[in-house]
Amino acid sequence: MATTDDSFNGLTEHCNDCDLETLHEISVQIRTESRKEENAQFSREPYRVAECQRCGNRSSQRMNNA
């Protein structure tokens, strides 16, 4: 099992739309979340985004579980 992180960042995962194990492109997005109650405070949260290469459905998951 030789994986190269530099080339295609693909992973086989279950897609809810396809209801199948499909190839997903994985990327990481940093989202800035503004909190309504604290306007001055912004938090940057990394999200792991998986895009189904079959149907194009995207699912994102917050990476910080703290």
**By the rule CB under 5 A, 52 interacts with Zn ion:** yes
Instruction: Please state, in angstroms and rounded to a whole number, the distance separating the CA atoms of residues 46 and 55.
Output: 24
Give which of 7, 13, 46 is closest to 28, Cα–Cα: 46
Q: Determine, following the binding rule CB under 5 A, whether residue 26 of this chain makes contact with Zn ion.
A: no
Contact in structure between 36 and 19 (CB atoms under 8 Å): no
The span of 5-13, 14-22, 43-51, 58-66 binding Zn ion (CB under 5 A) equals 14-22
Q: Does residue 50 interact with Zn ion by CB under 5 A?
A: no
Nearest distance from C-beta of residue 57 to Zn ion, angstroms: 5
